[in-house]
Chain A
Amino acid sequence: DVQMTQSPSTLTASVGDRVTITCRASQSIGSWLAWYQQKPGRAPKLLISKPSSLETGVPSRFSGSGSGTEFTLTISSLQPDDFATYYCQQYNDYPYTFGQGTKLEIK
């Protein structure tokens, strides 16, 4: 299985900050990576795939980049609605696997 490792596990930031979450794969997954946002009690929401294609309706302050084994999700200016947990997911190979999550907290 491809292991996905996110860092940091917890990130404390303020409204207006620029933040970056990193996702590393245990082997090359090409560009086959997606990012999700999950709020408590809710299903995850797809933000980005492929890994820089923004899903329709997702604010442009979200962006994704990377290829091979290292990927990043950047939020250019945090808004109150962005405080949530973020997951990366690889779909280069079965079984699909997720990172352990990054919890974004308000400072």
Chain B
Amino acid sequence: QVQLQGSGPGLVKPSETLSLTCIVSGDSISTYYWSWIRQPPGKGLEWIGNIYYSGYTNYNPSVKSRVTISVDTSKNQFSLKLNSVTAADTAVYYCARDRGPGSGYFDLWGRGTLVTVS
């Protein structure tokens, strides 16, 4: 059974860097694209960006200047770094399996990590 397990600090100071990691178990990370999606408390969903195992990335222009998504195929995991955070970046951050170009829906999600910027 394929599972995604996100992890990282739940509290980040303003202007610092938010760092999260998602470990993929039960499947090879080399098969699909992998996305980060966030949801501010009580609000809707925002796609942050995705990555392919080759390292090819796509980012949302809303955060493109501050975000880096990377992949470590040896550990079957991918990561998110968001720098210069503000209170507006407070959200639950989800990692998700992205079926990739032409099928960019998310059929598997991690539980989510609440990150508070304060």
Contacts and interface: CB of A to CB of B under 8 A. Distances in A.
Interface of A: 1, 32, 34, 36, 43-46, 49, 55, 87, 89, 91, 94-101
Interface of B: 35, 44-47, 58-62, 94, 96, 102-107, 109-112
A95 B94 contact: no
Counting chain A CB atoms within 10 Å of each CB, which of B59, B96, B106 scores highest?
B106
Chain A interface, DSSP helix/strand/loop, else mixed:
loop
Counting chain B CB atoms within 10 Å of each CB, which of A45, A91, A98, A101 scores highest?
A91
B105 A91 contact: yes
B104 A43 contact: no
Nearest to A35: B105
Contacts of B62: 95
